[in-house]
Amino acid sequence: MKIAVIGSGIGGLATACRLASKGYDVTVFEKNTTPGGKISEIHMNGYRFDAGPSLFTLPELVEELYAAAGEKVPSTFIYKKLEVLCKYFYNSGENLIAWSDQKKFTEECVQKLGEDPDNITKYFKSASLIYKITADIFLFNSLHKVKNLLKFSVLKSLFQVFKIRFYKTMHGDNSSNFKSPLLVQLFDRYATYNGSSPFKAPATLNVIAHLENNLGAYFPEKGMYAIVENIYELALKKGVQFNFNSLVTSIDIKNKKAVGLSVGGKNHAFDKIVSDSDINYVVNHLMDHPKKKQIKRLEPSSSALVFYWGINKEFPELDLHNILFSSDYKEEFNNLFDKKTIDADPTVYIFVSSKMVKSDAPTNCENWFVMVNAPSNSKENWDDLIQTTKQNIINKINKSLKTNIEDYIVQEKIASPITIEQNTLSKGGALYGNSSNSMFSAFLRHPNFLKSVKNLYFVGGSVHPGGGIPLCLASAKIVDNEIPAV
């Protein structure tokens, strides 16, 4: 039995490993020269950058993947739990450390923000409850099969569905939970983890706080790309074949069955096909999709504008993850999703992997991944917007860190929604497929299979259950459960 996997993002790699371990002959077709999809790396004159996702949560899903393949996690793949989740810098001058130790974090919020400690305790308990209710019904099961909805654990969750507060926005819920507007802004930020606005997305997304704050954030000893490298090696060990520089141009369907695909003008026959390509690309380029019109109407998630800077100085006031907040969060998201532009005072994320991986930058230097949320590309004037935003970012960094950062930038590379779309085939460079900017959109992502087309499956960040490394691994597990062993 031959299976093709389109794309080698984290979802495609994990699916390939799982299916090869069940006895299938698996071939992966990847348009780029290396595996990883949105998880990639950049090398520039002694600096190395993780170019994509920078947060690693639920590492047990990687361990579970190895177990499903009948293997042990290699001793070379080491990851560490972070003591500091993130450092936050506010426009008003306050700085806050988000400690992984919740007691220390609570004390920090009480001392610096005057927050009631009971509010923080209640919030984390609520986030944990949302996870317990949604994990079986939403994260690790397909919502699109009746038999899955009839499981006892799922039925139990359904009776508690109002506790996940899908009927409130994340911002509305957080505003009622905390008295400090700065803490509201901190937890509102989690909406951006799936490319949405906290002023539109359901409060259910507060579950993300559980993953990071209750369960913990981690970082691989060799950087984020090590996750891809290790799963790729696992796939090779299980016999998966990889064809790089191989752009799939169509999925061949006959008699309502997927029977093969076309690559470079040649047709290849397969018994089953798994797509790890952005669902919008699939709809527009690979097949006559039965729900093409509905998918086209969905709002894309946000994209990103990223500056990869080689800095010839060290900044001890920064940690691995750092946020420089905007002064008006609501206006920032209004610009992002309604006006389709980047705010003049954007929230800036600075990720410095050399804080953990010393070899990622030369001695006494740092590698800065500097990102702001950006709208997905819809014909904006990106040349002007990039230059304007770069100056706004520099001004913000200089004010927050009391420096002249432009004096220390010795290397630079830029990623925009245009280049992200070119590299990953995601529509408009949207990082997470479609946004979750409505009450039910978070629950109505594209299914992992089509009832109208047999032997065709979907994984990755643009389909159920969503974007980010844990959910992409979860999508692979869902598809694995749908395909029986040979």
Within 10 angstroms of residue 193's Cβ, the number of other Cβ atoms is 21
- List all residues 6 or more positions away from 382 whose beta carbon is below 8 Å from its beta carbon: 416, 417, 418
Average pLDDT, the chain: 93
Position 149 confidence tier, pLDDT thresholds 50, 70, 90: low
Q: Is 152 exposed, middle or buried (0-12, 13-18, 19+ CB in 10 A)?
A: exposed
Within 10 angstroms of residue 92's Cβ, the number of other Cβ atoms is 9
Instruction: Check pLDDT > 80 for residue 443.
Output: no
Distance from first CA to last CA of the chain, Å, rounded?
A: 7
pLDDT digit string, tens, across residues 1-51? 999 999 999 999 999 999 999 999 999 999 999 999 999 999 999 999 999
Average pLDDT score over residue span 342-353: 98
Phi, psi of 420 (to 5 degrees): -65, -40
- Under DSSP, the state recorded for 338 is I
The Cα 327–Cα 331 span in angstroms is 9
Average pLDDT score over residue span 450-465: 94
pLDDT at residue 40, rounded to an integer: 97
E strands in 378-440: 409-415
Token pair of 434 as six digits: 């479609």
Do you know the residue count of the chain?
Answer: 486
Do the beta carbons of residue 6 and residue 276 sit within 8 Å?
yes
Share of the chain above pLDDT 90, in %: 84
Q: Is 485 exposed, middle or buried (0-12, 13-18, 19+ CB in 10 A)?
A: exposed
The Cα 317–Cα 200 span in angstroms is 33
Q: Lowest mean pLDDT: which of 49-58, 147-156, 225-234? A: 147-156
The Cα 327–Cα 138 span in angstroms is 35
Instruction: Find the radius of gyration of the CA atoms of the chain.
Output: 22
For the chain, what is the total number of helices (H) and then of strands (E)? 16, 20
One-letter amino acid for residue 317 of the chain: E
Instruction: Check pLDDT > 80 for residue 161.
Output: no
pLDDT digit string, tens, across residues 223-273? 999 999 999 999 999 999 999 999 999 999 999 999 999 999 999 999 999
pLDDT digit string, tens, across residues 388-421? 999 999 999 999 999 999 999 999 999 999 999 9
Q: Residue 46: which region, alpha, beta or left (left: phi > 0; alpha: psi -120 to 50)?
A: left
Instruction: Check pLDDT > 60 for residue 343.
Output: yes
DSSP per-residue codes, 70-83: T-PPPTT--EEE-S
- List all residues 6 or more positions away from 297 whose beta carbon is below 8 Å from its beta carbon: none
- Under DSSP, the state recorded for 452 is T
Q: Which ranges of 238-326 would DSSP assign to H, the alpha helix?
A: 279-281, 292-297
- List all residues 6 or more positions away from 74 whose beta carbon is below 8 Å from its beta carbon: 230, 233
Q: Is 33 exposed, middle or buried (0-12, 13-18, 19+ CB in 10 A)?
A: exposed
